[in-house]
Amino acid sequence: MDRILQALIGDQLGAVDAAIKAAALFLTAAILFRFMERRTLAEFAPFDWIAAVAAGAVVGRAATASDTSWLNATAALISLLAAHAVLARLRFIPAIRRFIDPLLKVLIRNGHVDRRNLRRCGLTTADLEAVLRQHGHESSDRIHLAIFEAKGAISILFKDERVTDPNAAAPDALVGRGCE
């Protein structure tokens, strides 16, 4: 029974140490993330998710590891978030952005579904139909363009919509740049 109790409860002082280190790492991560560029979850690119998950792994592992100090975990967090910040800045260079962000893919052009691009995006016809219904359309007939964006969202431009912002790129010009 003592063995089971020891397995469940363990070292009580070690538990206190882990709680203090977890709180300190959480506060450290919160402060470090405060200095990072703010992005909403909807705007997360794949490398943003990698950084968030990796930071969580560092905090979670280091909090309970007796062989990892707060300083080591903080150094790992700082280097991880610095690498993320550098990668985010490198995306402003078009040649590098092509390697980081996937190309946009046209799923519907003038009412016709591009099944090849649909497969490339890992989407089924049912997935696309669900997105169309969410935008209030039962079919692709009135869709000028449906574009699978780099962050995984699908943008829909209807045939009867006109671009009202004079600075906005025309939909067809958008498709010509970085789009399949």
Q: What is the pLDDT of residues 64-95, one digit of tens each?
A: 898 999 999 999 999 999 999 999 899 899 98
Give the chain's end-to-end CA distance (angstroms, integer). Answer: 65
- pLDDT for the residue numbered 99: 84
For 37-58, how does the pLDDT look when each residue is reduced to its tens digit (9 = 90+)? 776 656 787 888 899 999 999 9
CA distances from 153 to 20, 24, 125, 146 (A): 40, 36, 15, 10
pLDDT above 90 for 141: no
For each of the domains in the chain, give its residue range(s) and CATH number, in order of start.
Answer: 2-98 (no CATH), 103-176 (3.30.240.20)
Tell me how far apart the alpha carbons of residues 59 and 163 are, in angstroms, rounded to a whole number: 46
Q: In what helix (H) or strand (E) does residue 143 lie, and over which residues does it extend? A: strand 143-148
Mean residue pLDDT across the chain:
85
What is the arithmetic mean of pLDDT over 137-155?
88
Question: Per-residue pLDDT averaged across 139-143, rounded?
Answer: 87
pLDDT in tens, 88-119: 899 899 988 888 888 899 999 999 999 999 99
